[in-house]
Amino acid sequence: MNTPSVRMIASWNGLRAVAVAAEGLASGAPLLDALVKGVETVEDDPDELSVGYGGLPNEDGIVELDAAVMHGPTHRAGAVAGVRGVRHVSRLALEVLRRTDHTLLVGEGALKFARALGFPEESLLTDRSRKAWLDWKAELSTRDGWLSEAERRGLAPGAFGTARWAGSTDPARSSAVPGPGDSSTPPSAPFTYGTVHLSALDGAGEVSCLTSTSGLSYKIAGRVGDSPVVGAGLYADNAVGSAGATGRGEAVLQVCGAHAAVTRMGAGDSPTEACLWVLRHIADRTREKRLLDGNGRPAFNVTLYALRKDGAMGSASMHEGYEHVVLDERGARREPCAFLFERPRGV
């Protein structure tokens, strides 16, 4: 029998993480330890505004991090959510998996667990992320997590896509929607969805995955998206493969996105087909006007990443223009994601 070679698929910001993880594997580290080591490079990066140290804070100016790991061979997972003051939340999630009988620890309890294990505590705000939060506050913009009366009554078409969440200046590097109007009306405060996800297959043919994020910027305190939720932001089944998601967590949570992608692969879809199936499912079930653009399409992005047990990999985004990372025998590189909807032309 052929020995399967190492394969990894990751979000656009996982280029260095997959290289470090592959080095870890090559030097004999267990797969999840190697993935954590890789993702720590992203959690340490002050310029990555959507993960770890320097991640954009919640509406109170406090950084709250979420992370999860899932181990294919044992079908066990560990996760933490709403963690303040600890940057290496992917390692903390791995400790939940290894040291407890539980899957998910949140907030104060997760912090107490981190303290017990001696994780260092620190402020996770950088000058840059503090300034971004102050700018956001100064604007008192509608780009927050609270719905207006008109939005609650379904009378605010397009508000989500135009003013509320749009604003990525570099769509390929963010999960924000690349919609018309983004470049003409850039918000002064950076505003982002964003997350790092890694799904991996090791040389023994075993799969595992990891997701780490600071979540939606300026979220309501306590808001948790899909990233630390097993079956939504990540899922691994050693018999089939692994998948993960980035982008609007609320949409992914509501369709159990990563679980759906793995299930589709188990039923015969290629990884890319499985990702597109989940995106179509999200698009078909997005009904509130505030979440739709002028063409009735989701005015937000979601990207799915999938890796099959045989080493096949694929990724797809709701909208055109996003990238993901792959690692195979040719090394690590960025590639364009497949997509459900073309970017509107000529606008």
**Could you list the residues that contact ligand ASP (CB under 6 A)?**
175, 193-195, 213, 215-216, 225-227, 246-247, 249
Q: What angle do CA 56, 62, 67 make, to 5 degrees?
A: 65
* Catalytic status, residue 195: yes
Looking only at the bridges linking them, the beta strands covering 241-247 and 313-319 are unpaired
Residues 118 and 116: their CA atoms lie apart, in Å, by 6
Q: Which residues contact 314 (CB under 8 A, 6 or more apart)?
A: 9, 270, 271, 272, 273, 274, 275, 305, 306, 338
CA–CA separation, 223 vs 214, rounded Å? 11
Q: From the CB of 202, what's the least distance to ligand ASP, in Å?
A: 25
> Closer CB to ligand ASP, residue 6 or residue 132?
132
* Residue 127 C-beta: closest distance to ligand ASP, Å: 23
Phi/psi zone of residue 7: left (φ > 0), alpha (ψ -120 to 50 degrees), beta?
A: beta
d(CA 344, CA 337): 17
Residue of 41, 162, 195, 213 marked active site: 195
Task: For ligand ASP, give the closer residue by CB, 6 or 191.
Answer: 191
Nearest approach, Cβ of 246 to ligand ASP (angstroms)? 3
Closest approach of Cβ 7 to ligand ASP, in Å? 22
Give the largest Cα separation in the chain, rounded: 62
Minimum Å gap between C-beta 16 and ligand ASP is 18
Q: Which is nearer to ligand ASP, 6 or 63 (CB)?
A: 63
Cβ distance to ligand ASP smaller for residue 175 or 238: 175
What is the arrangement of strands in the sheet containing 7-11, beginning at the earlier edge strand?
A: 104-106, 76-83, 65-71, 207-213, 196-201, 7-11, 323-328, 331-336
Pick the closer one to ligand ASP by CB: 6 or 224: 224
For residue 186, the SS3 value is coil
Q: Is the dihedral of CA 263, 267, 271, 276 positive or negative?
A: negative
Active site amino acids: 195
